[in-house]
Structure formats: C-alpha cells, structure tokens
Chain A
C-alpha cells in the first residue's frame, strides 16, 4: 500500500527556516515524480513545487520561488522541502503528493500533512 508520511512542521518565527520531510513506503519511490502542496487555515489548496523522479527537473510556484527548495533522496525514499525566509502567509498544512502506478497524471497519494505556523 502506497503511503506518504510528512514530518518536520512546527512553529517558526518570521524570517526563519524549516525543513519538511516526506517518507514514502509501499511503492518504488524512485519511479515517481513528487509534489508539495499546502493549505492555509480555512483556505484552498495551493501547489508549491514539483520534482521529477530522478530529481533532475524541478519547478516552483511563483509564491515560493527563491525561498523554498525541493529535493529528494531516492536511496532513503524521502522527499524534502527546505523553507527559508518564512512569512506569516506561509502558515499552512503542507502535504506531499504523488501519482501512482494506476494514475499517472493526478495526485493520487497524499500524506496526512504537517502544520507549519509562522508567528512571532
């Protein structure tokens, strides 16, 4: 069973940094592209970043470009999001999401989310 588990969220001051992790199990992680998506309290979903299966191709939403860095370690079945220069508006639940063996184009597998709160 494909599973994703995020960790690393917490309370951080404006301007601070945080690194999120997403551990994968139940599937061949290195075969799938991965994404980070967030949801501010009471708001909708917001796509943040994409990384190809090999890690060679990366894209970001304009809202986080230059501040966030996506990466992956296929040997550790893990996805990461390094978040720098955090702002109050970055407060959200952060999800990692992926396609699956049966769904090539769509966020089929989601983690449970990890909460990031940016506040002084």
Chain B
C-alpha cells in the first residue's frame, strides 16, 4: 500500500482556519471510517487529534474537526494558534484482507 497523499506544507495566520487534505484510495480511506489524525511537535511523540474520521478525544480542542468525502479525508483547524504549528499526519486502516494501517506523508503547518 502506498502512503496517503497529504500536502507537504500549509500555512495560516493566527485566528484563521486551515484545512489539510489526505487522499487515499477505495482500499483505504474510501473503504472505512477508521481515519485518524495526529499532531507531532519536533522531538515529541505524535498526539491523537481526531479518530474515526470526525471524533475528538477528550481534551482535544473543538477547534479541530475532521471529515471525509469519498477517498479524501480532511482535518480543519479553526482559530489558528501558535501552538498549532507542527507536523500533522493522517492515518487509515487499509486491511481489506489483512490488518494494515497506512499513514500519510505528513504536512508541516506553519503559523505565520
């Protein structure tokens, strides 16, 4: 399975909204609702921000939202804050025959 496709970088000013796309295929993103998103600051472990396409774990700000249409999932961050500057990875279950998980290549979010 190839990695999910994400833009290499996105940017926005404080207070603005941005959306990161994650494009897969009928075998992964398009085949289930097990898409998740992770934020990773430099030198730190990833943190789950969205799971099952649009659910937020307890403690994650409601500024983060997720959606999916066909083979493309999206993460939207509203009211950008300096702390949102990080790498973001999407992830999808892809196990039509066997358990398999694939990640996107990652998107560097810069808060201007």
Inter-chain contact A59/B98, CB cutoff 8 Å: yes
A44 in the interface (beta carbon within 8 A): yes
Task: Give chain B residues whose Cβ lies under 8 Å from the Cβ of A44.
Answer: 3, 89, 103-106
Bound state CA distance, A112 and B44, in angstroms? 7
Partner of B103 from the list A45, A105, A111 (CB cut-off 8 Å) is A45
Which A-chain residue is minimally distant from B106 (CB atoms)? A44
CB <8 Å contact, A112 and B45: yes
Q: B3 and A108: CB pair below 8 A?
A: no
Residues of chain A from 81 to 102 with CB closer than 8 A to chain B in the complex: 95, 100, 102
Tally of A interface residues using CB under 8 Å: 21
Q: Please indicate the chain B residues that have their CB under 8 angstroms from the CB of A95 in the complex.
A: 45-46
Question: Once the chains are docked, how many angstroms separate the CA of A15 from the CA of B28?
Answer: 33
Separation in Å of the B12 CB from the closest CB of chain A?
Answer: 21
Q: 1/0 per position for B75-108, CB-CB distance to A under 8 A?
A: 0000000000000010101010011111111100
Residue numbers in B under 8 Å from A105 (CB-CB)? 34, 36, 51-52, 93
Q: Are B91 and A45 in contact (CB under 8 A)?
A: yes
A45 touches B89 (CB 8 A): yes
Chain A interfacial positions (CB closer than 8 Å to B): 35, 44-47, 50, 57, 59, 61, 95, 100, 102-103, 105-108, 110-113
Q: List 30 A-B contacts (CB under 8 A).
A: A44-B89, A44-B104, A44-B105, A45-B46, A45-B89, A45-B103, A46-B103, A47-B100, A47-B101, A47-B102, A50-B99, A59-B95, A59-B100, A95-B46, A100-B57, A102-B57, A102-B58, A103-B57, A105-B36, A106-B34, A106-B36, A106-B51, A106-B57, A107-B36, A107-B38, A108-B48, A108-B57, A110-B47, A111-B45, A112-B45
Give 4 A-B pairs besides A59-B95, A59-B99, A107-B46 with Cβ atoms closer than 8 angstroms. Answer: A47-B103, A103-B57, A105-B52, A106-B48
4 closest Cβ contacts across the A-B interface? Answer: A106-B51, A47-B101, A59-B99, A110-B45
Which residues of B approach A to under 8 Å, CB–CB? 3, 34, 36, 38, 45-48, 51-52, 55, 57-58, 89, 91, 93, 95, 98-106
